[in-house]
């Protein structure tokens, strides 16, 4: 385990390397959750995430020992970019193993930062295995994403900055994937703001830290499926589990719907593009699982989201927020019935985004048709009122999930 002195040393080493990301108070989110909210916007960091901090803290030391070294890593995105840039800044060559289905923007960004990219394998775990074999065969040095004291200490510099930039906080929310970020931040918060509670946030579909806490040691999840791919880690490590046990007060989970809502709200109200993994702290606030009413600090850990995924997230988030409604209405198959339905929709001042009319391929009566209609609504209450109003008008209406 590393100490706070290691985090302080990382802070000094990162001077002039990282981009300042000053903590800011959000009046909008403070009003939404009923308590002061302060954001640490690491999505504005170099490479688009906090990962450059730990990568540079580790790789700069490698460069001091061997200026001709090659570093190797495996990642689907953020760690890849952090290692690639850190190696270039230190004058080292880097090879990054990435899954074959990695998003094109993350792949191109990693190459842009100077890395040699090797594509292959269907998961990050497979890429890690290939990277370790490559490192051993070529005398290169493997840089893990979280299972390294210097990497985690580098991430902990966020905690020092947050404590210096924000007023005294009641709670600090930190995303958890492999646990390197929260291990470093929690150690720093314990030293710099000892009165604050540190709470980790995992995606419900990839809660590997909670699984490890229950077992008492790291365990493999049967699957790690979540929209927050940046924290979809199937197994934490002994190092991060030990730091969570020592310094973290609680670990909570949030589901994909709430994560999507958080991404949309950050985009809509803060004008920030934050990736799902970076938005889980906001999701936890929105879901009401964070106790207390005092000031809360939230680490927004990254903003590297594929534009195609962002489009789907927006649709999903708007639906989860009650802003989109997919109606299923069964009507009589006779002239004028569809017109009556659309007239009722118009009378409620609803904007229709799409209409589908089905006679076959669905379970309806011989003289009936199914109409699927997507409309814009204001919020969940308005969405539910639409269905109730249509039923009062005599339509067989329901919400299509």
Active site residues: 51, 301
Cβ(30)–Cβ(180) below 8 Å? no
Helices (H) and strands (E) in the chain, counts: 16, 14
Cα angle at 62 between 56 and 68, to 5 degrees? 115
DSSP class of 238: H
- Cα distance between residue 346 and residue 398, in whole Å: 18
- Cα distance between residue 85 and residue 56, in whole Å: 8
3-state secondary structure of 73: strand
Residue with tokens 């930039």: 165
- Strand segments, DSSP code E, in 212-287 are 250-254
Q: What would the two tokens of residue 250 be?
A: 């609680």
Nearest to 207 by CA among 236, 230, 182: 236
Adjacency order of strands within the sheet including 70-74: 116-119, 93-98, 70-74, 141-142
- Cα distance between residue 275 and residue 371, in whole Å: 35
**φ/ψ bin of 42: left (φ > 0), alpha (ψ from -120 to 50), beta (otherwise):** alpha
């Amino acid at each position: 385990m590393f100490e706070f002195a290691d985090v302080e040393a990382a802070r000094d080493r990162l001077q002039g390397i990282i981009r300042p990301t000053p903590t800011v108070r959000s009046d909008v989110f403070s009003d939404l959750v009923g308590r002061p909210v302060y954001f640490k916007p690491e999505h504005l960091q170099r490479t688009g995430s906090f990962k450059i901090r730990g990568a540079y803290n580790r790789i700069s030391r490698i460069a001091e020992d061997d200026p001709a070294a090659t570093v190797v890593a495996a990642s689907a995105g953020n760690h890849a970019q952090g290692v690639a840039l850190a190696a270039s800044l230190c004058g080292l060559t880097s090879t990054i193993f990435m899954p074959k289905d990695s998003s094109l923007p993350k792949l191109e960004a990693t190459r842009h930062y100077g890395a040699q990219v090797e594509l292959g394998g269907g998961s990050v775990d497979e890429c890690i295995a290939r990277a370790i074999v490559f490192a051993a065969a070529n005398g290169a040095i493997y840089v893990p994403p979280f299972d390294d004291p210097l990497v985690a200490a580098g991430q902990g510099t966020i905690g020092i900055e947050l404590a210096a930039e924000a007023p005294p906080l009641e709670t600090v929310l930190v995303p958890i994937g492999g646990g390197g970020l929260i291990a470093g931040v929690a150690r720093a918060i314990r030293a710099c703001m000892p009165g604050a509670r540190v709470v980790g946030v995992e995606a419900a579909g990839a809660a590997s830290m909670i699984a490890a806490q229950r077992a008492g040691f790291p365990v493999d999840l049967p699957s790690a499926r979540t929209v927050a791919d940046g924290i979809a880690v199937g197994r934490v490590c002994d190092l991060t589990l030990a730091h969570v046990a020592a310094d973290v007060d609680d670990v909570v989970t949030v589901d994909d719907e709430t994560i999507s809502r958080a991404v949309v709200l950050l985009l809509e109200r803060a004008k920030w593009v934050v990736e799902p993994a970076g938005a889980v702290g906001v999701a936890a606030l929105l879901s009401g699982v964070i106790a207390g009413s005092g000031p809360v600090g939230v680490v927004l850990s990254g903003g590297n989201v594929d534009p195609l995924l962002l489009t789907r997230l927006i649709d999903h988030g708007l639906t989860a927020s009650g802003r989109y409604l997919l109606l299923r209405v069964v009507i009589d198959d006779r002239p004028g019935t569809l017109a009556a339905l659309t007239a009722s929709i118009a009378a409620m001042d609803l904007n229709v985004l799409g209409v589908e009319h089905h006679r076959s391929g669905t379970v309806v009566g011989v003289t009936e048709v199914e109409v699927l209609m997507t409309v814009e609504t204001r919020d969940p209450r308005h969405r539910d009122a639409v269905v109730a109003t249509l039923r009062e008008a005599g339509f067989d209406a329901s919400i299509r999930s």
